[in-house]
Structure 1
Amino acid sequence: MATAKPASPSPPPSTAVVPAANTAAAADKPAVEQLLEVAEDEVVIDFKPNAKCRADLRLRSLHPSLPVAFKVQTSSPLKFLVSPPRGAVQPLSSASLRVVLRPQQHAPASFPRSRGDRFLVLSSLSAAHLDSSASSSAATGGTTAIRLRVFFGGPYLLRLAAEAGDAAAVRLILRRQPHLLPLLEPEAAVPDGAEQWAPLHTAAARGDTGEVRRLGPDSMGARDREGRTALHVAAAAGEAEAAAALVDMGADAAATDARGRTPLDVAREKGYQEVVDVLERWELVMTAARRGDLQSLESLLSKRAGVRGRDQYGLTALHLAAIKGHCDVIALLAGSGCMDIECEDVEGHRPLHLAVEGGSAEAVELLLDMGAEVHAATRRGATPLQMAVTMGYEAIALLLRGRGADEAAAPALCIASSSSSSISCA
């Protein structure tokens, strides 16, 4: 944790004689009281070319009764933005700041630790003192200063250092960001017979969204030796676009690793707010679809990222809207083309099956009008008509028959599924 270090007074010329009285007075002068702590000892930025790169700083007031004013300065104002650049922290409270590196075309001239980039966090009980204190001085006029260096890391720079044979840079990055180690040895043998890193894990960790999509949904079942899915890995690396692509491909956002953490838990622990936003957006989409909240859903869909996620049963937002009979939501999700009307959960239930289970003739009719397959069968062979007959929904059964559904091959008995409460045939 970074703390203020009052600067030593400038040494007198070698010919000067310091009176004893003055020396004693200087010794008796109390040091400026430390007012703030910064939780981070460096500004750690995961660098990616041509992209805004962000880092968060946490300030904590050490004063028991008065607000502490702060001001943040940088040696490179053309490169960095700080939000907010100044403010006040209430007694014994905390505040968060966001540091943004403007898009840079090339890698930093020196990394992991920058030679020229610095931050100075000034604090005082008087905001006026902050403006009167020179940035190069500390502990003047009741002002304390905390100096922070900049550390550039992340998957892009780790690969760059490895390809250049810069072992020192690789060691420094891995020392601060050990979660990036698998990027250097994705094919290495893993003890105890555990799975190796799959290609999808590697692509997710380096943020290669094109490769993630190319590998496709069939690759998403793999886990590494810590029980992490590719979505866990993308969350740990702060790769928001890769995380959104995985969610859209049907990655299980509720999956837990060997430590019981979901990808959202990992993203929150690492402080990757963009990944958190993607994963929370998926949860909000599911909730809005379940509730029939069309206004919220339209707003979420306008962001386009992370909206086609699935829960642990493979259910999508369209499944949830169908079983609840929310026709306007069904029309929005399927009509906009953002969700496949024939999407299946882990047991093969399509939205039409769940509309039947929910007993909504209007939802069944809408899905049929939109092209849903009337003879669609689950993995156990249940069709929408068989489900309607078994559940006693005569009006829905009549509607399905009118659309060509044939029950001649229906088995004698259908039973409820244990996982999603849907009907499937034995």
Structure 2
Amino acid sequence: MLPHSALSLISSSSPSSQEMAAAEPAASSAAAADPERLLEVSEEEVVIDFKPDSKCRADLRLRSLHPSFPVAFKVQTSSPLKFLVSPPRGAVQPLSSASLRVVLRPQPHPPPSFPRSRADRFLVLSSLSAAHLDSSSDATSGVSAVRLRVFFGGPYLLRLAADAGDAAAVRLILRRQPHLLPFLEPQPQVAAAPGDAEQWATLHAAAARGDCGEVRRLGPEALAARDREGRTVLHAAAAAGEAEAVAVLVDMGADTSAADARGRTPMDVAREKGYQEVVDVLERWELVMTAARRGDIQSLESLLGKRAGVRGRDQYGLTALHVAAIKGHCDVVAMLAGSGCMDIECEDVEGHRPLHLAVEGGHADAVELLLDMGADANARTRRGATPLQMAEAMGYEAIAQLLCGRGAEVAPAPALCVASSSSSSISCA
């Protein structure tokens, strides 16, 4: 509950109807004034509801203004170490819309400046030619740009501003997010449900004592569970020096980059305690991903010989097989899928299978290999995109013909962007 003094900010911070009207996005009128603009962005700022040590998300909506041709787009940020964009590039069908998701990686501290960030910016480039988007200058003929600032808001920062007596920040947050006004009012104390603080004690205890059978029985659904100190099950196993349990958890898809309340990852915990075997397991998975990304078949062969702890996933659900597919490393794909080490139909968090990513990478040989190995030519992502729709949207005619020859069903592309959410975390490495 907020201190009572914070309530004095409400009357001076509540936005008037005139202020609210002035703050409404003006994307439509701006688009009308610019006849060369190809895309309209529904939001005038990227609004992030900030919460410490959590992934914070914001959705943007793009609308094509071109009546005849798909509009290619590419999203850039001034802070690539902080933000991810899903998808970072793609195409929007004529006069259709597409949704983007901006993800702020977990940050232990509030933004240095808020509500509006001084350092963070986004640039949405659009063109009828995808090749033009990779020019070093957005002034290239045929490329239009929309610039977006970042607005940090949400209940956490509203309370922080109120507690600090920062009336200007409170006013700005409420002007942008008037629905947060109740968070400044006193709330009745609600008793926590019995056992809430210890609801994950069984799973953490199983990991800490190295009971791999119990960990497997409880299943991957519980991997994101945290205790009162923000520690995941993988933290518990690493802190206890249980290398086998750590390997099982990694193979189940535990997030190796998760940070506890003190900002420590499982790797940090293992190193602090001197558990080198645990460190080796955690590093092994990272080395597998790196080898797959680089196509380093010799290193990968050596790592796979150790088996345990090599079938992990990153925070986007990507496996080494996904990474090899989008990079077009056919020998790596053959090794990972052919040996039975990884499922050829494994999905990332957006439902992309290795075949989707091989198509996105434009690698016809990798697409053909995956089809030869039994990949489903009609697999759909969470957004309903098939490999054939992706190939057609991205202009890969040879790959589209290959897929059609292998039984891919021809269907209208959905009115959404079909580019993969994974490319931002793969292609730049």
| Matched-pair contact (CA < 8 Å) for 1:313–1:419 | yes
Amino acid at match of 2:242: E
347, 364, 368: which one pairs with 1:344?
347
- What is the TM-score of this pair, normalised by structure 2? 0.52
Q: Where does residue 407 of structure 2 map in the other structure?
A: 404
Query: 1:228 deviation in Å?
Result: 1.3
Q: 1:398 to 1:195 in 2, by over 3 A?
A: farther
Contact 1:196 1:225 (C-alpha < 8 Å) held by counterparts = no
In structure 2, C-alpha distance between the alignment counterparts of 1:192 and 1:258, rounded to whole Å: 20
Aligned counterpart, 2:316 = 313
Distance 1:291 1:240 in 2: 27
Cα displacement (A) at 1:200: 2.4
Counterpart of 2:233 in structure 1 is: 230
SS in 2 for 1:414: coil
Check the 8 A contact 2:350/2:381 in 1, yes or no.
yes
Q: Which amino acid aligns with 1:228?
A: R
Note the C-alpha offset of 1:312. 1.2
Kept in 2: contact 1:190–1:196 (CA 8 A): no
For residues 358 and 416 of structure 1, what CA distance do their matches in structure 2 show?
A: 10
Contact 2:318-2:422 within 8 A present in 1 as well: no
Letter in 2 for 1:278: V
Give the aligned length.
234
Unaligned runs of 5+ in 1: 1-188
SS for the counterpart of 2:213 is: helix
CA contact under 8 A between 1:364 and 1:396: conserved in structure 2? Answer: yes
TM-score, scaled to structure 1? 0.52
Note if contact 1:204-1:231 (Cα within 8 Å) is conserved in structure 2: yes
1:251 alignment partner, one of 234, 254, 272: 254
Q: Is the 8 A contact 2:385 2:418 kept in 1?
A: no
Offset at residue 252 of structure 1 (A): 1.1
CA distance in 2, matches of 1:361, 1:195: 51
State the match for 1:61 in structure 2: none
Q: Structure 1 residues 355 and 415 mapped into 2: Cα distance closer, same or farther (>3 Å)? A: closer
Residue number in structure 2 paired with 1:196: 199
Alignment partners' CA distance in 1, 2:197 and 2:391: 45
**Which residue among 372, 375, 378 is the counterpart of 1:369?**
372
Aligned residues of 1:253 and 1:311 also touching (Cα < 8 A): yes
> Which residue number in structure 2 is paired with residue 288 of structure 1?
291
Instruction: Give the structure, 1 or 2, with the largest relative contact order (CA under 8 Å, sep 6 or more).
Output: 2
Larger-gyration structure (1/2): 1
Unaligned runs of 5+ in 2: 1-191
Go from structure 1 to structure 2 and tell me whether the alpha carbon gap of 1:289 and 1:219 turns closer, same or farther (over 3 Å shift).
same
2:219 to 216, 219, 223: 216
Aligned-partner Cα distance in 1 for 2:264–2:416:
40
Give me the CA root mean square deviation: 2.0
Cα offset, 1:419, TM superposition: 5.8
- What does 1:10-409 align with in structure 2 at a 5 Å threshold? 194=197, 196-409=199-412
Give the helix-richer structure, 1 or 2: 2
Residue 407 of structure 1: CA displacement? 2.5
Shift of 1:415: 4.5
Q: Could you report, residue by residue, the CA deviation over 1:45-89 in whole angstroms, capped at 9, with x for unpaired residues?
A: xxxxxxxxxxxxxxxxxxxxxxxxxxxxxxxxxxxxxxxxxxxxx
Q: Which one-letter code corresponds to 2:324 in the other structure? A: A
- Displacement of 1:251 after TM fit? 0.9
Over 2 Å off, 4+ runs: 189-200, 412-422
CA contact (8 A) 2:352 2:420 kept: no
Distance 1:262 1:217 in 2: 19
Letter in 1 for 2:206: A
* Closer/same/farther in 2, CA of residues 361 and 195 from structure 1, 3 Å limit: farther
Give the secondary-structure state (helix, strand or coil) at the position aligned to 2:303: helix
